A = this chain, B = another copy of it.
Amino acid sequence: MRTPPPRIDPSADLAPESHFLPPLSAELIAVIVAVTGDSPRILTLDRGLTLPSGPLETGHRSLQAGVRSWVERKTHHALGHIEQLYTFADQDRLEDSEPKQVISVSYLGLTLEATASGDPGVGWQGWYRYFPWEDHRLGRPLVLDPILDTLDTWVHRAASVEIRRARMSRVRHTFGAKGEPWNEEWVLQRYELLYEAGLVEESRRRGYRNHPAGRLATGEGMQHDHRRILATGIARLRAKIKYRPVVFELLPESFTYLRLQKAVEALAGRRVHKQNFRRLIAFQNLVEPTGGIENQTGGRPACLYRFRRAVLQERMMVGSKLPLAK
């Protein structure tokens, strides 16, 4: 098509600061999500302290293939959906400053919950254990009160009026205080705010000044920045269920509308209007009746449905709108 012109060495232009390359290694970290009943869960090691992770190997054709092969061995379930979350290489991520540089690539995966493998410490944990303020299904959670109080003193400790104003409006908008609406997607922003304000264990570990209010119940901590990665995953998933039909990866072959709704509510951390939810699902032609009936409902029996997997082929991008728009 054309003869390639002489190539300019890009590094000569673009990477001036240092040409010393330290030993580099790559690590894969996975947020593996399942839903049991109305509890959203994640796969953890170390009794809930870390997310599953491991080095990138040559045996893996791609990053995604690497994560997939791990998790399928671990859960004995096919990973329904997998997507990349974020790549970090910040040197200040490391708690002990090694000379070695690590690139961490994080992934979000959806699956059905399986019995945990026999290893001690490996298992599923409800994610609201780490983010108790994120569960608004029974209304505004009470943990928010002490959190907002403490954030308020953080706002007033600001060095200047501008900083105080900025902090105040940030708290207002991320946490939905003072009449602002709660937006369930801003999981990461809320965690980062708590981190900066020194209200989570991880930031206290990192030498952020301890808050005078002392220990506040702000969820379980995790090692390294794993809780931050988890927040990223939850935020991504909460956003994604609104426009892609990924919830179905968390459900068995056949399910009732209510079970589907409970899964959505578990992920989103808020409740939805039942009739409108049904209307939206029915209208989009994403599911078809199996013909079966579930009569362990406690009331009128419910029709069973299955996800029409064909839609994924038909339209690569199906809009699975959910009544979570706000």
Contact = CB atoms under 8 A, between A and B. Distances in A.
Interface in A118-137: 119-122
Given A61-B92, A88-B63, A8 B170 contact: no
Given A4-B46, A10-B52, A87-B105, A173 B58 contact: no
B10 A21 contact: no
A24 B21 contact: no
A176 to B, nearest CB: 11
A281 B8 CA distance: 43
A46 B84 contact: no
Interface in A19-65: 19-22, 24-26, 45-47, 49-50, 52-63
Interface residues of A, number: 75
Interface in A129-184: 166, 169-170, 173-174, 183
A320 to B, nearest CB: 15
B45 A10 contact: yes
A214 interface: no
Interface string A63-86: 100100110011000000000101
Contacts of A315: 169, 173
Contacts of A166: 313
B316 A4 contact: no
A213 interface: no
A186 interface: yes
A276 interface: no
Given A4-B49, A45-B10, A317-B183, A89 B63 contact: yes
A168 to B, nearest CB: 10
A20 B58 contact: yes
B14 A54 contact: yes
26 contacts: A4-B223, A8-B46, A11-B54, A13-B73, A14-B52, A14-B54, A14-B70, A15-B55, A15-B57, A16-B73, A17-B69, A18-B59, A20-B58, A24-B24, A56-B101, A58-B101, A61-B92, A62-B88, A63-B89, A84-B87, A169-B315, A170-B313, A173-B316, A173-B317, A183-B317, A186-B316
Given A26-B103, A169-B313, A169-B315, 5 more contacts: A8-B121, A10-B50, A18-B59, A170-B313, A174-B316
